Structure 1
């Protein structure tokens, strides 16, 4: 989907995926020591704002300016600070060992960019830091409850397991979950969840 598509979607007054954090992020967040956190393809900022409320210093990367505006608006409502950067992941300035935590919630990209981004995340997390994600698996095509309708934009378990093979994998799950996130994620979905820490 194009930048224009996302700007149009996020330009509406309603929050497309709601204002509450993703259930997996909400469940795992208490385990994360406060740190410098990056949220990629974060849309309207629901997860970033929640994590900032727990004491993290959160930076959001997204290429939809309307989503970043909504992130700032939500942060203001919740009384927290979130840094926003308008950025296309094709041009992301990844630096090795620069983030304590990185999250990606339903951030879906074409295969080449997805694999490049996962490898970049693996390098960009500091030793002892973590990566968390909940994304749609290729099986989500059969569910029609959210996400891209292009199999090339959906994740396969081996992409995560191979990229983070040297990490300490604390949680890995692929299967059905119930999601009620705004009007666009509604019902039983097929997801992949990952939570791992980088060995020192």
Structure 2
């Protein structure tokens, strides 16, 4: 896996903007006050910093060091603390049952890695904790408003529904949403949204 993201995040400019993802912003009310939250594939930190500003204890995971550096800079600007961890989420292990909640916004992974990543996202959350996800669906290839250009890097809603079996489904959405997130995610896109409560004892 090449680290093109490290290069993409190399400028001072925040390519996905500095404001949080709208779905995270709208749904953050579900998180208990002072929650310990893991942010997977967090990029430049816009969601992690937003949640830290709401009083949560946030750890941002990404494998692009430039992205984590920008996360720390954004957190400093808002006078909050976000822990950053350089991690290859495909190959590296993650803490088990350490967090009250976990989020992933537009985590771009190949199909043969997507279930593994989702499993890790769930495993890092304590039983009863919340997992919040927004990703581009396969239909996004027809929109041209951001995200991967191939179906191989996008998500099938039937796969996602299979992954969340056994958990309490609080929210599932498959369809169009307007997103204005910097220069790379702007306009009408086609997304999958999931919010579940972790109802399984983790086996890792």
**Post-superposition shift, 1:122?**
2.6
Cα-Cα RMSD: 1.3
- The alpha carbon displacement at 1:82 in A equals 0.3
Give the 3-state SS of the residue equivalent to 2:90 in structure 1: helix
Match of 2:127 in 1: 127
Q: Secondary structure at the match of 1:89?
A: coil
TM-score (norm 2): 0.93
What residue in structure 1 maps to residue 152 of structure 2? 152
1:49–1:82: 8 Å Cα contact kept in structure 2? yes
Render the CA deviation track for 1:84-123: whole Å, top value 9, x for unaligned: 0111112222343222111000011011221111122233
SS of equivalent residue, structure 1 residue 43: coil
CA distance in 2, matches of 1:99, 1:107: 19
1:94 aligned residue: 94
Structure with more helix by fraction: 1
Instruction: Answer yes or no: is the 8 Å Cα contact 1:146–1:184 preserved in 2.
Output: yes
Deviation for aligned residue 1:148:
0.5
Segments of 5+ residues of structure 2 without an aligned counterpart are none
Q: Which stretch shows the higher mean deviation, 161-170 or 46-55?
A: 161-170
Match in the other structure for 2:23: 24
For 1:47 and 1:27, locate their aligned partners in 2 and report how far apart those are by CA, in whole Å.
12
Query: 185-194 vs 106-115, which deviates more?
Result: 106-115
Give the secondary-structure state (helix, strand or coil) at the position aligned to 1:141.
helix
Match of 2:13 in 1: 14
CA contact under 8 A between 2:102 and 2:122: conserved in structure 1? no
Matching residue of 2:103: 103
Cα deviations across residues 40-69 of structure 1 (Å, max 9, x unaligned)?
110000000000111111111101011011
Deviates more, 1:6-15 or 1:86-95: 86-95
**Separation of aligned partners in 1, 2:11 and 2:124:** 33
Task: Give the whole-Å Cα distance in 2 for the aligned partners of 1:43 and 1:140.
Answer: 20
TM-score between both structures, scaled by the size of structure 1 = 0.95
The Cα offsets for residues 153-180 of structure 1, whole Å up to 9 and x where unpaired, read as 1011122211111111111000001111
Q: In the alignment, what sits opposite 1:181?
A: 181
Distance 1:123 1:76 in 2: 29
